[in-house]
Amino acid sequence: MTFVPEPLDPDDDRAPYEQVASSLGAAIRTRRLAPGEKLPSHKELTELYGFARATIQRALRDLEDEGLVVSRKGSGVYVRNRTERPAGLRPYVEQAFANDHVTIDFAGFSSETLHGALQEPLDKIRIGRLTPSSITMRILVPDMSVPQAAPVRMKDGADDKRLRDRMRDIMVSYTRSIRDAITELQHLGLVAETRISVRVHSGTQFFKLYVINGEDAFFGYYPIRPNKVVAQGETIEIFDLVGKDTTLFHHSINDGESSSGAQQVQQARMWFDSVWETIGRDFDLDAR
């Protein structure tokens, strides 16, 4: 089947190579370009998109850096098999907002990465380039009112309430910002219905999980690293859960009903629902 790209948005103010990379990336994520499939040649892509060869080359480099395609010398560029490989979260979050109904479940430590991944799609809703009718998010985080396995003081491995208070403040800051930004879209009449729910549980969260539109799951472990933080005016050496070093692995129901990827998504949804509906407790972001 000959690949035909979706028409580019004439109002898109991004650089041409970014527009091409976004278009091809969307085709890969929705399996219009399937894993293992060869992309059209550079010449064909220049004709399809109407941009110079250098623009196409730059777009393909970005897709390769993102892990969506692989270049084989003398053969061409192919869609990489996406099962159980490191993946970037942001493009999939943005793609999710092209749907009419958007759902995101997040389990992790602070929702900082989610906050960053949401900025571009929310901006596109504000200017009318994305138009979902509903957004539903569930955020599941550890209860920092009780001791955790980490963060703890490095010198003796002991719990320190100041560290928990610091982590609670970070979580509340990012999660409240997400809630306020999405709720504002409803107040402005840009999204008909929004719902953001936050629950806490007493266990330490050693991994992060995103389930996007019930179809894609991203999973990664938090490494524990030595760190220095300032808590209530004192510098403390700690063993910390470091989110920025987390490698995310992508699984999708689009890999096929009986595939490992589809089973991973199913199990991720089951795990999240089980914790949310049993030991998860509602958390008030505005409580002091």
Statement: residue 86 has pLDDT above 60: no
Residue 31: domain span? 16-79
Q: Domain check: are 46 and 96 in the same one?
A: no
Q: Are 160 and 236 in contact (CB under 8 A)?
A: yes
Give me the number of domains the chain comprises.
2
pLDDT value, residue 87: 56
- Dump pLDDT digits (tens) for 5-64: 888 888 888 899 999 998 998 888 888 888 888 899 999 999 999 999 999 999 998 888
Average pLDDT over residues 118-146: 94
Confidence class for position 84, pLDDT limits 50, 70, 90:
very low
Whether 131 and 168 map to the same domain: the answer is yes
Rounded average pLDDT over 113-137 = 92
pLDDT of residue 261 exceeding 90, the answer is no
Confidence of residue 150 (pLDDT cuts 50, 70, 90): very high
Asked, for residue 7, whether it belongs to a domain, the answer is: no
Provide the CATH number for the domain around residue 38.
Answer: 1.10.10.10
The full DSSP string for 123-185 is HHHHTTS---SEEEEEEEEE-TTS--SSSEETTT----HHHHHHHHHHHHHHHHHHHHHHHHH
Judgement on whether residues 112 and 210 belong to the same structural domain of the protein: yes
- Residue 265, in any domain of the structure: yes
> Does residue 134 sit in the same domain as residue 246?
yes
Q: What confidence category does residue 89 fall into, taking pLDDT thresholds of 50, 70 and 90?
A: confident
* End-of-domain residue from the set 27, 45, 79: 79
Q: Do 160 and 275 have their domain in common?
A: yes
Q: CA–CA separation, 135 vs 186, rounded Å?
A: 9
| pLDDT higher than 80, residue 81 | no
